[in-house]
Each structure stands twice: as structure tokens, then as C-alpha cells.
Amino acid sequence: MWAMIEKFRRRDCGIGLDNGHVLQTTYRAVSAICHTRGMEDIVAVELSTTEGTVCYFVTWGRIQNRVDPEPLERLILKVADHFAIPGTPASARLCESLQDAREAPFFYEAIFDFAQKTIPFGSGYEKWRRRMDKRMRRGQEIYCAGPFDEYKPD
């Protein structure tokens, strides 16, 4: 990380170092520093139903395709019937950020569940990715965080 900060400092992007601490930053530099490989390991997908209900799903990202969100969106549409969602699935959209789903009733439970699992980066990653893809196609490794407007706590 410090090498990246030094690189941006040399480009005069508003970063200064003082005894190893970042003094000033710009949006561009912060975005580059904070964007990590793990940022899209867990993603949220917004599902809309024909009745107008919006549900959110939390699952692994970059499993079906490293760049294109369409395969994951199609998968969520296909397996949505496995979950107790109100209505018929009509469309799915990969959220730009997990923040989009933060108000879903079971969002934090979903994040906690996924955070307990490890991703074997390196030589074991491809085998793990294939296994997760198979599980996701069966409706596993996908957490329905719930619809916004249907949840009423007791």
C-alpha cells in the first residue's frame, strides 16, 4: 500500500507523507488505494418482481464471469424461486455496492455469514470457484436478504 501512496505522491495527486502517515488525499488517490481485490468478492443483486417488490440477494461475486454481471443476474433470476419472495421474478441487477442492499431486513446476517468463509486465493482458487459456481446454480451460497416492503418485525 505504501508503494502505491508513494507513486501517487510523485504524480502530485495531493498525497503527502509525514512519518508514514497520509496527510492529504484526493478522491482519485483514495479510490486507487482503497480499491482492493476483495472489493467484489461479495456482491449484492437487486431483484424486482412483476408485482413491484424489490428483494436483495447477497452472494459471491466474479464466480460466473470476472467482468460481465449478466451471468450472475440470470442465475439469480433462475434460482429466485427457491426463496420465499413475494411475486414472480422480473429482473435482476448487480448492485454497484453492498451499500445498495444495506436496508434489507437480513442484510447484516448475510454479510456476517459470508465473512465467516475464506476464499483460497492462489493455487486453490480455481477449484473453489468451480465448486461455488455449482453450489450457486443449485441455489446455495446465495443469501436472500429480503424485500424492503414485505418485512414487518413482530
pLDDT in tens, 30-40: 444 444 455 68
Rounded CA-CA distance 86/97 in Å is 24
Q: Which of 78, 96, 84, 82 is nearest to 55 (CA)?
A: 84
Band of pLDDT at residue 67, cut at 50, 70 and 90: very high
pLDDT in tens, 101-126: 999 999 999 999 999 999 998 999 99
pLDDT in tens, 78-88: 999 889 888 89
pLDDT of 8 higher than 80: no
- The pLDDT of residue 47 is 97
List helix spans (H) across 1-154: 2-10, 27-34, 70-79, 107-115, 125-137
65-73 own/partner pairs: CB under 8 Å, 24+ apart: 69/93, 69/94, 72/43, 72/45, 73/45
Band of pLDDT at residue 70, cut at 50, 70 and 90: very high
Tell me the three state secondary structure of residue 4.
Answer: helix
pLDDT in tens, 122-141: 999 999 999 999 999 999 99
- The pLDDT of residue 84 is 87
pLDDT in tens, 12-31: 444 444 444 444 433 334 44
Mean model confidence pLDDT for the chain: 80
Rounded CA-CA distance 145/113 in Å is 11
- The pLDDT of residue 154 is 53
Q: Where are the domains of the chain?
A: 2-35, 39-147
Tell me the three state secondary structure of residue 3.
Answer: helix
